[in-house]
Amino acid sequence: MRGDLAEGAMTNDEAHEKGYIEGRRRTAINQLSHALREILGVDLAEDKSAIVIARLVLERQEAIQTIRRACRDNDIEDSFSDNLHLSDIIEKHLLRGLDL
């Protein structure tokens, strides 16, 4: 444990760094979405197989960022890997941290 911080609590510097990283990821997701629209010449909302896959990847990344934010807002550790199965992230990190 660091100083008088509760276990799992972040320092201001750590919280700032996490916010910075999350902002960069969100920006990258928006840029990727725009690039795919420009490259493929269609809106990502159209149902073509490559576009559907791109939409699912983007949706997954946005969901993970939302879960990380919910974890931080509820003082739950959010250092899980982005490669975990989405249901494992929800069940083993968010719900367990909320004692649900």
Query: So what's the pLDDT on residue 1?
Result: 44
In DSSP notation, 1-51 reads --TTPPTTPPPHHHHHHHHHHHHHHHHHHHHHHHHHHHHHSS-TTS--HHH
Report yes or no on whether pTM surpasses 0.85: no
pLDDT in tens, 62-100: 899 999 999 889 888 888 888 899 999 999 888 888 886
d(C-alpha 57, C-alpha 29), whole Å: 10
d(C-alpha 90, C-alpha 49), whole Å: 27
Cβ-contact 97, 77 below 8 angstroms: yes
Select the highest-mean-pLDDT range: 2-6, 48-52, 65-69.
65-69
